[in-house]
Amino acid sequence: MENQMETPGAHNTPEGETPKVEETITLSKAELEDLKHKAEVSSQNYERAKKAENRLKEIEPLVVELPPEEDEDGRIKSELSDVKQKLQRMEVIEAYPPIKEVWKDFESFREESDNKGMNMRTAAKAFLIEKGLLETPRKGLEKTTGGTRVPVQTGMSNDEVKNLRETNYKKYVEMLEKGLIKFS
């Protein structure tokens, strides 16, 4: 079935005026229902927007903005950061007591571009080693423990090897192959 909508128009037109033409639009039932549904949804959305706007107007005077210096979250973070730094300082001074006397130098050492971002304990250790203030020397290679005795030289001296090579080359080559001649 089709519904017909007519545009209202005047049938009688006075002379000198252009006659108005009526236009007929034909819609199916599904199209008509769809248009009604869209109009209803649009009306509901309009009502929701109006209610939200009115609610916002009611609430807006009640909202109070905090100035940046009174920002509770930022203040707490700042205080927490300060406490952490003081705690780290106490731990470093406890671990390395000589650093207390040269703390300002240590802080400038930490500000250098090579040392920025370094853990405070690691930086303290590096600083103390660099300045020669660390009490215990770092371990390196083991010290020799063989005593002062000079090992006995075995084999031939350089002069004897030279003499053998010049006088008896065949025996020299044979001893070299057996590993009896060692060069020092």
**What are the pLDDT digits (tens) for 118-134?**
888 888 888 888 888 77
Return the DSSP state at 88.
Answer: H
Positive or negative CA dihedral for 10, 12, 16, 21?
positive
Secondary structure (3-state) at 113: coil
What distance in Å separates the CA atoms of residue 24 and residue 7, rounded to the nearest whole number?
7
Largest interatomic CA distance in the chain: 151
Per residue in 80-116, pLDDT tens?
888 888 888 888 888 888 888 888 999 898 898 888 8
- What residues pair up with 6 in beta bridges, in sequence order? 24
| pLDDT score recorded for residue 64 | 63
Question: Contact at 8 Å (CB) between 5 and 29?
Answer: no
Question: Contact at 8 Å (CB) between 134 and 128?
Answer: yes
Place of tokens 């000589």: 98
- Regions of the chain with pLDDT less than 70: 1-16, 62-71, 135-138, 151-154, 183-184
What distance in Å separates the CA atoms of residue 184 and residue 181, rounded to the nearest whole number?
10
The number of beta carbons lying within 10 Å of the beta carbon of residue 123 is 19
Backbone angles phi, psi at 6, to 5 degrees: -120, 145
| pLDDT score recorded for residue 171 | 92
Positive or negative CA dihedral for 82, 88, 90, 92?
negative
What distance in Å separates the CA atoms of residue 49 and residue 127, rounded to the nearest whole number?
66
Identity of the amino acid at 153: Q
| pLDDT score recorded for residue 1 | 47
